[in-house]
A and B are shown apart, each in its own frame.
Chain A
Amino acid sequence: MTTRPDPAQGGESVHPAVALVQPDVTSGGRLIRTLGVVTAVCGVLIVAAWQFTLPAIAANKKIVLERSVKALAPAATHIEEYDASAGGLKKAAGDPAAGAVRFYAAYGSDGGLLAIAAEGASRGYADVVRVLYGYRPECECIFGFKVVQMKETPGIGDKVTTDTAFVANFEHLSVKLAPDMKALFNAVKTVKHGTKKNPWEIDAIAGATITSKAVGRGINESVQKLLPLLAPHIEDLKQGNEK
């Protein structure tokens, strides 16, 4: 009790506890140096990890892609990645340039072009629904689609992959180009359940209209961009495997 200082006394001597609490002032130089060293070490760690995992990540992405393309065209033995742009077709390397559309050409064992696959994406109920659709130049139609990524409600939105009536919409979905080759003759459209009349329409799943529409919209947007770029070069592509 007696050792406690009385502030009212206003004594000049500094209490020992106060002297102890006096912070050691760290110099600005040391702070900068510490931060610099830590960030440099962390930078080296990150770059090393990136270099080390890059081949495995690229290989993983390729496996996932080949698996989904093969799910659409099971007879495919060889898959080529291309970028279609106003300047023509180019073998894909890195991310596609602005305005270019990435697509995949699947060839059979005899070297013939089996199908073309490309990705479409549109916002669904929970998040973006990404689909990979298959296109066949002979019939100018889409013959199937697979979901690449979606976070739709289980049991409701995810029915787009399991509902046989909905999946059947895509077995022969017309995507004919207009005579000017600039857009589709009839845009792909998702219609209310039970009202499909035309081959370019998709009959929505009752109760899962938002996800159904996202699939249709994603495909439509992608096809509208890809086909006008692709159409002039389709013959080159058919021979692509022989070159």
Chain B
Amino acid sequence: MNSKQAGVTMDTFLEGIWRQNPVFVMVLGMCPTLAVTVSAVNALGMGVATTFVLVCSCGLISLMRHQIPKEVRIATYIVIIATFVTLVDYIIQAVSLTLYDALGAFIQLIVVNCIILGRVEAHAAKNPPLPAMVNALGMGIGFTLGLLALGSVREILGVGQLFGYTLFGANFQPWVVMVLPPGGFFVLGAWLLLFAVLTKRKQANAAIAESSVQGGRHGA
């Protein structure tokens, strides 16, 4: 907890992208993760919207952290988060109605996305604005990458396209289940499995390296 003086380090930013990735490590915010990732564009839109809310709310709350009494902090946080979500709602409508219709109720549901309230409570309320916003940006990018990982796989397998561009010939038979709700679970499960295998292998390699050092010492 000495991060108060630590300021901004590379880890402040990278924490959300890899070590504490909200989708693949913390497994937070599953509602939008599973529901809107039917295409890469939707995933990107949702990720960018969430990142905007995350960075703005964390910045403002961190700025006001000494003024907000802890008795009313949750109410204050939610009001601030809801404000930025409303802003995003209007901005998306102004940018693209197609994207707005595709994301549907999930834009409003960013208010109760646990990544944001969690970040505010765990980080922004205890740190100065700059590290709070850098950390929030990392988390937002990590969330966006997680959504993109799901969205692109689901779009490629389920529609045979990526960002709307057709990838395969006319003979490609789309795997429709991938763009239906079960597909979200399948793809998320596959990604989690991949990361679990990678982590296990890394640990096993580290153990082998260690035991070979010890083995050499014992002459086994």
Tell me which residues across on chain B come within 8 A of A168, comparing CB atoms. Answer: none
Alpha-carbon distance between A52 and B101 when the two chains are bound, in angstroms: 21
Q: Does A60 contact B (CB under 8 A)?
A: yes
Q: Is the CB of B76 within 8 A of A35?
A: yes
Q: Is the CB of B83 within 8 A of A45?
A: yes
**Contact A42-B94, Cβ < 8 Å, known A35-B75, A154-B179, A155-B174:** no
Q: Is the CB of A154 within 8 A of B69?
A: no
Alpha-carbon distance between A38 and B98 when the two chains are bound, in angstroms: 33
Q: Does A64 contact B (CB under 8 A)?
A: yes
Q: Which residue of B lies closest to A43 (CB)?
A: B83
Q: Does B27 contact A (CB under 8 A)?
A: no
Alpha-carbon distance between A30 and B71 when the two chains are bound, in angstroms: 11
Near A by CB (< 8 A), chain B positions 51-79 give: 64, 67-72, 75-76, 79
Q: How many A-B residue pairs have CB under 8 A?
A: 66
Q: Is the CB of B180 within 8 A of A154?
A: yes
Tell me which residues across on chain A come within 8 A of B75, comparing CB atoms. Answer: 35
- Write the B80-97 contact mask toward A (1 if CB under 8 angstroms, else 0): 101100110011011111
Give the contacting residue for B69; candidates A34, A50, A57, A60; CB below 8 A.
Answer: A34
Q: Which residue of B lies closest to A149 (CB)?
A: B101
Q: Does A198 contact B (CB under 8 A)?
A: no
Near A by CB (< 8 A), chain B positions 144-190 give: 158-159, 174, 176, 179-180
Tell me which residues across on chain B come within 8 A of A233, comparing CB atoms. Answer: none
Q: Is the CB of B76 within 8 A of A38?
A: yes
Alpha-carbon distance between A242 and B204 when the two chains are bound, in angstroms: 82
Q: Is the CB of B94 within 8 A of A154?
A: no
Near B by CB (< 8 A), chain A positions 14-46 give: 26, 30-31, 34-35, 38-39, 42, 45-46
Q: Does A49 contact B (CB under 8 A)?
A: yes
Alpha-carbon distance between A109 and B55 when the two chains are bound, in angstroms: 51
Shortest CB-to-CB span from A18 to chain B, Å, is 19
Q: Is the CB of A60 within 8 A of B176?
A: no
Q: Does A56 contact B (CB under 8 A)?
A: yes
What range describes how many residues of A lie at the interface? 20 to 34
Q: Does A77 contact B (CB under 8 A)?
A: no
Q: Is the CB of B97 within 8 A of A64?
A: yes
Q: Is the CB of B101 within 8 A of A53?
A: no
Shortest CB-to-CB span from A4 to chain B, Å, is 24
- Write the A143-168 contact mask toward B (1 if CB under 8 angstroms, else 0): 00000010101110000000000000
Tell me which residues across on chain B come within 8 A of A42, comparing CB atoms. Answer: 79-80, 82-83
19 A-B pairs besides A38-B80, A50-B90, A149-B101 with CB distance below 8 A are A26-B69, A31-B72, A34-B68, A34-B76, A35-B72, A35-B79, A38-B68, A38-B79, A42-B79, A45-B83, A52-B90, A57-B90, A60-B97, A64-B98, A151-B104, A154-B158, A154-B174, A154-B176, A154-B180
Which residues of A are at the interface with B, using a C-beta cutoff of 8 A?
A: 26, 30-31, 34-35, 38-39, 42, 45-46, 49-50, 52-53, 56-57, 60-61, 64, 149, 151, 153-155
Q: List 25 interface pairs A-B (beta carbons < 8 Å), by A numbering.
A: A26-B69, A26-B70, A26-B71, A30-B69, A31-B72, A34-B68, A34-B72, A38-B76, A42-B80, A45-B83, A46-B87, A49-B86, A49-B87, A50-B90, A53-B94, A57-B94, A60-B93, A60-B94, A64-B97, A151-B104, A153-B176, A153-B180, A154-B174, A154-B180, A155-B174
Which residues of B are at the interface with A, using a C-beta cutoff of 8 A?
A: 64, 67-72, 75-76, 79-80, 82-83, 86-87, 90-91, 93-98, 101, 104, 158-159, 174, 176, 179-180
> What are the 10 A-B residue pairs with the smallest beta carbon separation, nearest first?
A56-B94, A42-B83, A53-B90, A53-B94, A26-B69, A155-B176, A49-B87, A57-B93, A60-B97, A49-B90
